[in-house]
Amino acid sequence: MDDNLPDYPDLLYLKGQETAKRALEIAAAGGHNLLMIGSPGFGKSMLAHRLPGFHRQTLEALRQPIETGRVSIARANAHVVFPARFLLIGAMNPCRCGYLAYPGSSCSRVPKCGEDYQGKISSPLIDRMDLVVEVPAVNPADLSLLPPGKFSADVATRVAAAQARQRM
């Protein structure tokens, strides 16, 4: 392992969520923004932490740079434009209580709870998410399995190869 690489949690230790892990790989390989939606405790944040970078408080501030690929800074005496190509990975609950479609746990405001909660994120921001993936509950049997052997370094190698093919 390269000592110069940042110390991020490895995909190897994240059990279940194979579809969401594949979506992360596709997002990284193609530079696609990804939104993961699921109830609390289903692994959205754990998945997002496996890819280095972005925090929740920056989402709305990033709306314009997502669209234009640049950041403009204007001051009294100068106007500067910087390139801003980045990969946005977001994670959100389906509603305020978090259990919109979870049997036996959803609140009494279903489906209004979900509509109100999801309505707080602007449509222009949602429109800029290239991939949206549902993150379901992990099957308890999956938690007792051995790690699937999918190291982050292996995924990084595949992502780099895909990016190189795209540049050809």
Q: How confident is the model at residue 82 (pLDDT cuts 50, 70, 90)?
A: confident
Q: What's the pLDDT at 52?
A: 63
Q: How confident is the model at residue 114 (pLDDT cuts 50, 70, 90)?
A: confident
Structural domains of the chain in order of their starting residue, each with its CATH number: 11-162 (3.40.50.300)
Q: What mean pLDDT, rounded, does the chain reach?
A: 81
Q: What's the pLDDT at 51?
A: 75
Q: How confident is the model at residue 162 (pLDDT cuts 50, 70, 90)?
A: very high
pTM over 0.85: no
* Mean pLDDT, residues 39-67: 75
* Mean pLDDT, residues 27-49: 89
Give 116-158 pLDDT, tens digit per residue.
888 888 888 888 899 999 998 888 887 777 766 668 888 889 9
* Mean pLDDT, residues 47-65: 69
Cβ atoms 35, 129 nearer than 8 A: yes
The string of DSSP codes covering the chain is --TTS-----GGG--S-HHHHHHHHHHHHHT--EEEE--TTSSHHHHHTTS----GGGTGGGHHHHHHSEEEEE-SS-EEEEE-----EEEE-SSSSS-TTSTTT--TTTTHHHHHHHTTS-HHHHHT-SEEEE--PPPHHHHTSPP-S--HHHHHHHHHHHHHHHH-
Could you tell me which residue, 84 or 101, shows the higher pLDDT?
Answer: 84
